[in-house]
Structure 1
């Protein structure tokens, strides 16, 4: 009975309403509703036989006196909890498709605005990170140049000063200066390359933010237009007096004693029950 899955999977997804109402208002998309309390009454854990509590016997299967000193408790529970829990499922067949389509368009427009807003936030955060990276690279470049100048000055001072004429000292100075220059140029080239890459990324990010912000204006206007169209569609359906039209889709029944589900008196397979349990779990019922 595969057709049951879509119904059972949405039973516990909406806010609580009375079971007598069965479905959400006809002005929106069809939503099958049931309260958390009702969900908790239809979803019951079934432990393995070797761990389940069995009244009247101990863990070895030997008879024992019941610890229940209140004989009226079971009778009271039966009064509070019915033997079969029935969940009627209804829709408004005249407004369902149009209302669903209108609300779907409105939701899609709202999602587009939200996604674009998130993209703007992320792009701005990336821009901040890139600018911080550029600042760090420029600081590294300044420090590298300072070190280079300091090392060069120290070398000159240690090899006879600026006016040195001794050939031996000048040869030592030239060799050491070449090593200093080589190390400096290698590091400087790497930093300059990173600065160029970062500046390119910053320019691209700036363009992205600008495009997203322009798109934000367009998307928000589209949402406003879609929202007005949706409200107009729903008001038109309501104005024709179609809100109160209902059609019964069926009834989900849960037999508490047998721990079984049926839909329109047809057994629900274990997959259907699992889908119902998962839907209820998403509503906070375990």
Structure 2
């Protein structure tokens, strides 16, 4: 079967438009979500066939197992918390230095909020409130509706 060069170019140019994951309506306005948006938003879920099998390489051949004893006994915390800080002098126009001097108050930091990251679930909280609101859930639904996981 003969395929013209123009047909191939047309398909290549139209593919990015077909890569949309889905349409979401927020306040009656359609919002289009791209494949790149979904990849940035959705958490990677590996399929069952990519799990680690000790003593086996990716082709199923035997290899020396990498499970060696003697770990350092390091236990990661369930969550990490840190203060979100800003330097208010950066917004006043006063915090200007010269080429050879550090600006006054350059190391000033004011706590604005407390950020918590749950390492098991990947959820992030700002002052105890989850950073995954209704709009985020709608976009995730559109991504999943478009076949993206």
What's the TM-score, normalizing by structure 2? 0.36
Larger Rg: 1
Q: Select the structure that is richer in strand.
A: 2
What's the TM-score, normalizing by structure 1? 0.22
